Amino acid sequence: MHNKKIATFMIPSIFLLAGCAFPQAKKNEKQIDLDYRHSKNITQALQNRSADNLHIHEGPWVSGSPVLMNKNRIPTNKNCAITFATGTPVTLNEFSKTVTRLCGVPVRITLDAEQKTNGMLGDSRKVPGSAAPDERLVDIRWQGKLDGLLDTVASSMGLSWKYSGGEVNLYYLESRTFNIFAIPSTTDMRSVVQSGIDAGIGSSQEGSTSGSSDSSDSGQSSQTTSVNLKSDMVNDIQNSVQSMLTQNVGRLSISPSTGTLTVTDTPEVLDRIQRYIDGENRAITKQVLLNVKVLSVTLDDSSQFGIDWNLIYGGGKFGASLLGNTAESGASGGNANISASILNGNFANSKFIMDALAQQGKVYVMTSPSVTTLNMQPVPVQVATQTSYLARVESNSTANVGTSVTLTPGSVTSGFNMNLLPFVMPDEQLLLQYSINISELKSLKEVKSSDADDGNKIQVPEVENRIFSQKVKLRSGQTLVLSGFEQNAKQAKRNGFGSAFNWLLGGGVNTSDKRSIIVIMISPVVME
């Protein structure tokens, strides 16, 4: 009786639990249906837009690049089995007629193929290395598919063949158009370093880009060194392709405005040109980001000769490798301690360098530009001030009119100027050529034509220049640190009665010796 009560109690409980599960199952089923309809709508929308946004590429791909397949082969249903043997020498025309008769596939011989087998071009010039006039097929024995026979005959005659439009074409020359990924432009970059005295008399010496002259007759003594770069990328590629053409046969036509190069030559030469242009396009379209930061470090301690880079790099935080350290006397009497080092890291370490420099002097950022350029394309960076001055005064006297004065203005540009030229090599290495000109306008002196009060006056600018041009090898992401180009600023203050050195009467002399050092950081990054 007790067991019956338990069973009676359990039966309603089971139905109660089942009744609670039914609504939850229904809710899940409804959600599944909603998700299915939503995904179906998305799929349908993608299918409707496939013509605009999806591109179907037929054929195999390897490592993200398509494998070119020869689509000009004979279809299977047309590629008949054929037996061919030349008991006697036959001409190319006789061969084409035989193939057409046996396989039902028309064989057409192009005009350039006929000229090639006859040893003549259209302008009656002999083709170097071509077949003898009326060359015939000799000792050709073949049993197999038609495409194999065509390969054998074409190779023996120095020709090519392709199947197009239901017929076989035997040809010698082919035309192909290539794209050159370069903007048609001419680059002319020049860096000149000049020193010495020019008295402004005599004739200047020309015809030398680097050298020195010292002549009392001309009144001048100077030394000039210049680095010139002239390039025309499209023209250089054209010259390279021209050298690859078959002599007296190949020809080309270039359109710089559209960036295309059309070449007519044999298929083997065209394939070689294709590989060359593909490699050039990959090289010249590599993008380089150049981060530049120019710092000025002012040292107040007169006993401190320069920045102690060993102290900065000694902590090993930056992985620095010192490339060179040279010292020479500057023209103004200050020390020009120029050092170059490479940091294994980008500008993420620049803050640590600035903090380390701040422990030796006052640091402020003069400029911090970031520029982008392509491989082998120079890019200028300038942060400068242009100052106008009176360069020339001319007085002209006219009869019955009077005297007129003409003032000619001039301008001088001072500040930071830099030219950067990257050359990307394999494995994200690059050569970097940089030319830097740091100039400062010291004063504008007035010069009079005579001591009289009414004498004409002009202004002569005095500019202090620091110019250098160098090359360095870096890896993408490394930072080149250049230090040097020091400038001394000496000040002296005197006070007291009578002699300033009489300290009993309150005399005294205060001197200060400040040295300003320019630090340049360049970090190139090769962008894919």
Is 50 exceeded by the pLDDT of residue 410?
Answer: yes
Element (H, E) at 25: helix 2-48
The predicted structure's pLDDT at residue 163: 93
Residue of 376, 353, 335 whose CA lies nearest to 479? 353
Q: Which residue has the higher pLDDT, 403 or 93?
A: 93
With bands split at pLDDT 50, 70 and 90, how would you rate the model's confidence at 336? Answer: very low
Is 90 exceeded by the pLDDT of residue 146?
Answer: yes
Residue of 404, 187, 410, 419 whose CA lies nearest to 292? 419
The predicted structure's pLDDT at residue 65: 56
Report the 10 Å Cβ neighbour count for 312.
21
In the chain, what percentage of residues exceed pLDDT 90?
26
β-partners of residue 394 are 406
**Residue 485 CB contacts under 8 Å (≥ 6 apart), including other chains:** 336, 338, 438, 466, 517, 518
Is 50 exceeded by the pLDDT of residue 168?
Answer: yes
Note the pLDDT tens digit of each residue in 479-500: 888 886 666 554 444 554 455 4
The predicted structure's pLDDT at residue 374: 93
**Residue 285 CB contacts under 8 Å (≥ 6 apart), including other chains:** 181, 374, 375
- CA 96 to CA 157: how far, in whole Å? 13
pTM for the full model? 0.67
Residue of 280, 273, 282 whose CA lies nearest to 245? 273
With bands split at pLDDT 50, 70 and 90, how would you rate the model's confidence at 279? Answer: very high
For the chain, state the CA radius of gyration.
41
Please list, residue by residue across 56-81, b when 16 or more beta carbons sit within 10 angstroms of its beta carbon and e when fewer do: eeeeeeeeeeeeeeeeeebeeebbee
Q: Tokens representing 469?
A: 């041009």
Q: What is the mean pLDDT of the chain?
A: 75
E-state strands within 31-147: 61-62, 65-66, 81-85, 107-109, 141-145
Q: Which residue has the higher pLDDT, 11 or 58?
A: 58
The predicted structure's pLDDT at residue 61: 54
The stretch 33-62 carries a mean pLDDT of: 62
The predicted structure's pLDDT at residue 202: 46
The predicted structure's pLDDT at residue 514: 67
Residue of 95, 123, 92, 96 whose CA lies nearest to 107? 96
CA 201 to chain centroid: 44
Please list the alpha-helical segments (H only) found in 137-232: 146-157
Q: Tokens representing 476?
A: 């993408």
The stretch 387-398 carries a mean pLDDT of: 85
At 38 the three-state DSSP class reads helix
Please give the span between the terminal C-alpha atoms of the chain, in angstroms, as a whole number. Answer: 86
Residue of 354, 385, 304, 346 whose CA lies nearest to 519? 354
Note the pLDDT tens digit of each residue in 121-139: 544 344 444 444 567 888 8
